[in-house]
A = this chain, B = another copy of it.
Amino acid sequence: MRDNTFVLEETINALLESKKYSTLRDVLSTMNAADVAILFEEIPEDKLPLLFRLLPKELAAETFVEMDTDNQELLIRGFSDNELKEVVDELYVDDAADIVEEMPANVVKRILKQADPETRKMINEILNYPEDSAGSIMTTEYVSLRPKMTAEEAIKRIRRTGVDKETIYTCYVTQDDRTLIGYLSIKTLILSEEDDRIEDIMDSNIIAVRTTDDQEDVARMFSKYNFMALPVVDKEDRLVGIVTVDDAIDVLTEETTEDIEKMAAITPSEKPYLKTSVIETWKARMPWLLLLMISATFTGLIITKFETALAAQVALMSFVPMLMDTAGNSGSQASVTVIRGIALQEIGFVDFFKVVLKEARVSLICGATLAVVCFGKIMLVDHLLMHNPAVTAMVAFTVAVTLVLTIVCAKLVGCMLPMLAERLKLDPAVMASPFITTIVDAVSLLIYFKVATALLGL
């Protein structure tokens, strides 16, 4: 995909050099907004305004929405007031609000000045909702119908007002006070008789979200119910906007990336990796590495405590990395499974004992299998093959017993912490590998030395 962009980029550059503007316009017009935006990222900044002006009006607005913030700002700063007004007029209100949110104050002022008063009011309304809430991702442009209308009147109304609406696929039925009382798809409308009343053909089992609902919960509802759009209501059940499925997909992708980053001990960032500066990446990763490094002090203390015993049995030390890694991996498997289950709303705190019981059983048979293999491997490789006299059958047995105990502990810690975090309204995603590993390392070292003391009489 990227390679094609390169070829295209060269073609565009060649056309620009030879000033074949009408050919350029024709080429760009055949493209999709998302592709134009990707192309624009690869084009030298100084040629951007010229190219953008070649785009047909509607494509220009769509492309503008898809571009990254830096390029948007660059263009706005170069726009005349008239040009800016043209673009702003073509934007959907929720896209305009997204853009305004990212721009520096002086650019925001210019945009709002060019928007007509109605649009300005709507943009400000959306901006007032808390970040990550349904209100902040909704659009206030939707089709609303009245219960007493006929299907024919409804279609006429859509034809009259529909051009500006982001989606007309789902229409919402409201009373005079804007209370939402039903909805129907354009499919129902087209397939019904001309004189059918809206209230008779609408679906009144409304599933709506509140302006303050979390955007991730809202997005998950799309994958649960297969909707094209979800209505957003205020505290009095009055319709204030809709969230469309394309925005829901973006939210799902964003929130999953955030979860994955948190699971890897990185502070989430909204920028793509290649757009983030070295310092920003450092800032996102450093605090976690620092915290985890300091926490690892405990494992050091444990080793120091058993130092004298270890000096006598240095062979024991060689199994420490394997024990710690296996315990860490076992714990991560459990924690990551539970974290994802919570994110997909398959697992909740109510399932606590079910999950713990299951992990206990899984960890016992995992531990037993690994212990048998490990005992065999130590006896075969370290004892027989490498003739290491310090590695006796008793040492192998010590390692095997430790393995079972640490795996059980690791999986239990791994499955319980995310559920507890969820219960305490903390973010379960933080309870993943790095965090679990740090705890599990200390626990497995303690178990190891205790078992060794008991079995080998250190």
A286 and B162 contact, CB distance less than 8 A: no
**Interface 9-mer from A99-107, A114-122, A126-134, A220-228:** A220-228
B434 and A286 contact, CB distance less than 8 A: no
Contacts known (A266-B337, A336-B260); A296 close to B318, Cβ less than 8 A: no
* Chain B residues positioned under 8 Å from A186 (CB to CB): 168-169, 186, 190
A346 and B272 contact, CB distance less than 8 A: yes
* Chain B residues positioned under 8 Å from A252 (CB to CB): 249, 252-253
B300 and A369 contact, CB distance less than 8 A: no
A289 and B326 contact, CB distance less than 8 A: yes
Contacts known (A297-B377, A300-B322); A338 close to B190, Cβ less than 8 A: no
In the complex, chain A residues 436-454 whose Cβ is within 8 Å of any chain B Cβ: 437-438, 441, 445
Q: A residues touching B (Cβ–Cβ < 8 Å)? A: 1-3, 30-32, 34, 155, 158-159, 162-163, 168-169, 186-187, 190-191, 205, 207, 222-226, 228, 245-246, 248-250, 252-253, 256-257, 260-261, 263-266, 272-274, 278-279, 281-282, 285-286, 288-290, 292-294, 296-297, 299-301, 303-304, 307, 310-311, 314-315, 317-322, 324-326, 328-330, 332-333, 335-338, 340-341, 344-348, 350-351, 354-355, 358, 361-362, 365-366, 369-370, 373-374, 377, 381-382, 386, 388, 433-434, 437-438, 441, 445
Contacts known (A30-B205, A347-B274, A362-B282); A318 close to B336, Cβ less than 8 A: no
* Chain B residues positioned under 8 Å from A266 (CB to CB): 333, 336-337
Find the residue from A317, A341, A345, A374 having the highest chain B CB count within 10 A. A317
* Chain B residues positioned under 8 Å from A34 (CB to CB): 224-226
Q: Could you list some 15 contacts between A and B, CB below 8 A? A: A1-B345, A32-B207, A163-B191, A169-B228, A190-B190, A223-B246, A249-B249, A261-B336, A264-B335, A265-B333, A274-B346, A274-B354, A278-B358, A293-B370, A296-B326
A interface, over-half SS: helix
B370 and A263 contact, CB distance less than 8 A: no
Find the residue from A186, A301, A329, A351 having the highest chain B CB count within 10 A. A329
Q: Could you say which of B205, B314, B345 contacts A310, with CB atoms under 8 Å apart?
A: B314
Q: Could you say which of B31, B296, B325, B369 contacts A290, with CB atoms under 8 Å apart?
A: B369
What is the CA–CA distance of A286 and B371 in the complex, to the nearest angstrom?
12
* Chain B residues positioned under 8 Å from A355 (CB to CB): 273-274
What is the CA–CA distance of A382 and B191 in the complex, to the nearest angstrom?
79
* Chain B residues positioned under 8 Å from A351 (CB to CB): 274
Q: Could you say which of B162, B333, B374 contacts A293, with CB atoms under 8 Å apart?
A: B374
B296 and A325 contact, CB distance less than 8 A: yes
* Chain B residues positioned under 8 Å from A311 (CB to CB): 311, 314
Q: Could you say which of B155, B253, B374 contacts A190, with CB atoms under 8 Å apart?
A: B155
What is the CA–CA distance of A302 and B335 in the complex, to the nearest angstrom?
30
What is the CA–CA distance of A203 and B346 in the complex, to the nearest angstrom?
41
B336 and A322 contact, CB distance less than 8 A: no
